[in-house]
């Protein structure tokens, strides 16, 4: 194993200790699920080739869906895709009439990332790259820049909203040429869906439409084609927390969102959304519940039905739905080893736990929680990082004593607390509990 730089180490450890997924350094702790990841990489390659794709990534709470989506996102960036990601919540939906769908689009474009800007906020850079490339071509061919830009965007004008999209990009070029920062800012604001009235958009940019609840999906299809014109491979959209649609109490609102998923799925299957890939993360009940889940919508149930021949250990990763397999105990052991390695900055001489301690920790979790410790590993990982933190800050403490003082208690929500009760006063008195 190689050394781990401090930035990636701190990002991974702090995120996992808080129970959230790290945005950088995922490769340092990735284990298992190689076939699922391979199938998503094939999707990314298809998007890079101009084809649309659609995948539902299904897993229980704490099983690693968000980590898996972030890993796919990182692979997309390496493959020169532009990647947009967002979490659904009551204020961000796929279909709405009160601005929630436009809010989702604004979140996606605000988080737009490229390999050069992996943290997001890359929309202006994408537009800048397109404009710079066209200006260089126009200068070489002796063509007026404005004519060259409109010529490159000509086929976008045939799509829904494409005419105003092309005019906004041209406005960005005018701001670029004239040194008008306000015009450039207004163009980016329109592309991000931040204009709320058509009057403001017309006064700022001379266009008569804005991105709203009804048009945001067409705008994403335009944006996907535009990224390819700018020199990227396509657009990958990652949406997590899809279970929030399942939680909608209003049946009509829930079905309207499912209709939007059906529209996206149909466009992907029929190849009408060029260079646009979708990866959606959700729980099994979000899909399989025939009363409120996607399976309650007959058209989606038929399209998302699993391969009936994939049973008794046989798998099929070519369908639109990918179930995340449980980590095996062997995978979990490797994961704990990687966490120990990252915590020590990649220096084996600084390991806080020996191999037998990893086995003891796994056995302790197994006896306390059963197989859930590796099937839904999020909280177990948090506990392990907390254990390392205590050992690092209290040199006189031993892992044998700490594990011996841990008892599992269920709270009202069904989760478990690892309660640590020191047998005698000492350096670990300040440790109260860590969640498992």
51 closest CA partner among 228, 219, 217, 215: 228
pLDDT at 415: 42
* pLDDT higher at 139 or 87: 87
Architecture of domain 33-121+233-323: 3-Layer(aba) Sandwich (3.40)
In whole angstroms, what separates CA 327 from the centre of its chain? 20
Q: What percent of the chain lies above the pLDDT cut of 70?
A: 90
The pairing of strands 416-420 and 406-410 is antiparallel
Q: Which residue matches tokens 């070519």? A: 318
What kind and span of H or E run contains 417?
strand 416-420
Confidence band of 8 (pLDDT split at 50, 70, 90): confident
pLDDT at 28: 85
Query: How far apart (Å, rounded) are the C-alpha atoms in residues 421 and 424?
Result: 9
pLDDT at 379: 76
Question: How open is the CA angle 239-381-108, to the nearest 5 degrees?
Answer: 15
pLDDT at 144: 86
- Provide mean pLDDT across the span 415-430: 39
Query: How far apart (Å, rounded) are the C-alpha atoms in residues 132 and 136?
Result: 6
Paired tokens of 103: 């809010």
All structural domains of the chain with their residue ranges: 33-121+233-323, 124-205, 329-435
pLDDT at position 416 over 60: no
- Provide mean pLDDT across the span 160-170: 92
pTM (two decimals)? 0.82
For the stretch 352-406, pLDDT in tens is: 998 999 988 888 887 776 655 555 677 788 889 999 999 999 989 888 888 875 4
- Provide mean pLDDT across the span 33-56: 93
pLDDT at 369: 66
pLDDT at 373: 58
In whole angstroms, what separates CA 380 from the centre of its chain? 22
Paired tokens of 390: 């205590």
- Provide mean pLDDT across the span 75-98: 95
For the stretch 307-358, pLDDT in tens is: 888 777 787 888 899 988 777 788 888 999 999 999 999 889 999 998 999 9
Instruction: Tell me the CB-side half-sphere exposure of residue 161, using CA atoms within 13 A.
Output: 22
pLDDT at 375: 58
Paired tokens of 137: 């071509």
* pLDDT higher at 137 or 226: 226
Q: Where in 98-195 does DSSP place strands (E)?
A: none
What kind and span of H or E run contains 182?
helix 181-191
Q: What is the CA radius of gyration of the chain?
A: 25
pLDDT at 405: 57
For the stretch 198-254, pLDDT in tens is: 999 999 999 999 999 999 999 999 999 999 999 999 999 999 999 999 999 999 999
**Largest Cα–Cα distance in the chain?**
84
Query: How far apart (Å, rounded) are the C-alpha atoms in residues 298 and 152?
Result: 41
Paired tokens of 248: 């909608």
Question: Per mean pLDDT, which range of 125-129, 191-195, 364-368 is the poorest?
Answer: 364-368
pLDDT at 422: 38
* pLDDT higher at 53 or 61: 53
pLDDT at 409: 39
Give me the residues paired with residue 276 across strands: 235
DSSP H helix total and E strand total for the chain:
19, 8
């Amino acid at each position: 194993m190689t050394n781990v730089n401090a930035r990636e180490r701190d990002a991974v450890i702090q995120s996992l200790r808080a129970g959230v997924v790290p945005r950088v350094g995922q490769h340092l702790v990735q284990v298992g699920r190689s076939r699922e990841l391979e199938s998503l990489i094939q999707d990314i390659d298809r998007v890079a080739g101009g084809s649309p794709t659609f995948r539902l990534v299904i897993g229980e709470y704490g099983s690693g869906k968000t980590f898996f989506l972030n890993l796919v996102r990182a692979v997309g960036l390496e493959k020169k895709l532009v990647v947009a990601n967002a979490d659904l919540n009551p204020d961000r939906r796929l279909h709405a009439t009160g601005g929630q769908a436009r809010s989702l689009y604004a979140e996606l474009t605000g988080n737009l990332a490229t390999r050069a800007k992996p943290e997001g906020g890359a929309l202006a850079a994408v537009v800048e790259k397109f404009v710079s490339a066209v200006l260089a071509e126009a200068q070489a061919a002796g063509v007026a820049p404005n004519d060259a830009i409109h010529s490159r965007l000509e086929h976008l004008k045939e799509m829904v909203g494409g005419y105003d999209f092309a005019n906004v990009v041209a406005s960005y070029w005018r701001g670029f040429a004239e040194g008008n920062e306000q015009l450039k800012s207004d163009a980016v604001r329109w592309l991000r869906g931040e204009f709320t009235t058509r009057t403001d958009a017309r006064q700022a940019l001379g266009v008569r439409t804005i991105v709203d609840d009804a048009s945001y999906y067409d705008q994403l299809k335009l944006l996907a084609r535009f990224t390819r014109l700018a020199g990227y491979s396509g657009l990958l959209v990652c949406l997590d927390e899809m279970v929030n649609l399942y939680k909608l109490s209003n049946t009509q609102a829930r079905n309207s969102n499912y209709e939007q998923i059906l529209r996206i799925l149909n466009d992907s299957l029929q190849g009408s959304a060029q260079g646009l890939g979708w990866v959606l993360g959700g729980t099994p009940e979000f899909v399989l519940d025939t009363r409120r889940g996607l399976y309650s919508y007959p058209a989606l149930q038929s399209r998302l039905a699993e391969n009936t021949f994939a049973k008794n250990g046989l798998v099929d990763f070519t369908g639109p739905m990918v179930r995340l397999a449980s980590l095996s105990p062997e995978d979990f052991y490797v994961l704990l080893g990687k966490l120990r390695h990252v915590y020590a900055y990649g220096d084996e001489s600084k390991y806080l736990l020996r191999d037998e301690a990893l086995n003891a920790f796994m056995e302790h979790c197994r006896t306390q929680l059963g197989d859930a410790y590796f099937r839904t590993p999020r909280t177990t990982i948090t506990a392990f990082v907390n254990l390392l933190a205590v050992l690092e800050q209290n040199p006189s403490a031993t892992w044998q004593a700490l594990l011996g003082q841990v008892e599992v208690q269920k709270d009202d929500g069904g989760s478990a607390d690892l309660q640590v009760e020191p047998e005698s006063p000492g350096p670990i008195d300040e440790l109260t509990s860590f969640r498992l």
